[in-house]
Amino acid sequence: MCRNITELRGLEPAATSEEVEAAARQYVRKVSGITRPSGGNVEAFEIAVAEVTATTERLLAGLQPRRQPPKSVPPLRRPEVRARLGLG
């Protein structure tokens, strides 16, 4: 699991819903200490991911544009990660 949450503000093109959800999932994994929820934890985990995703989308929509792009490329824009996940 990555130690840093990916910056999504200022991406060109703008962050996709898929990228926002991936960042939310990364955050929930980190704070919960659960990489793959099972049993009774699945529902609480997925609700948290959905809530963090929605909050992140509202945050990004409300912020002023960035003057410079983020220092790193989000994982879902990296060819090696997309290939590993079967996304292209």
Q: What is the pLDDT of residues 21-71, one digit of tens each?
A: 999 999 999 999 999 999 999 999 999 999 999 999 999 999 998 888 888
**Global pTM?**
0.83
Minimal CA–CA distance to 20: which of 52, 66, 63? Answer: 52
Minimal CA–CA distance to 58: which of 50, 66, 67? Answer: 50
Q: What is the mean pLDDT of residues 11-17?
A: 91
What band does 3 get if pLDDT is binned at 50, 70 and 90?
low
Q: Could you count the other beta carbons within 10 Å of the beta carbon of residue 48?
A: 19
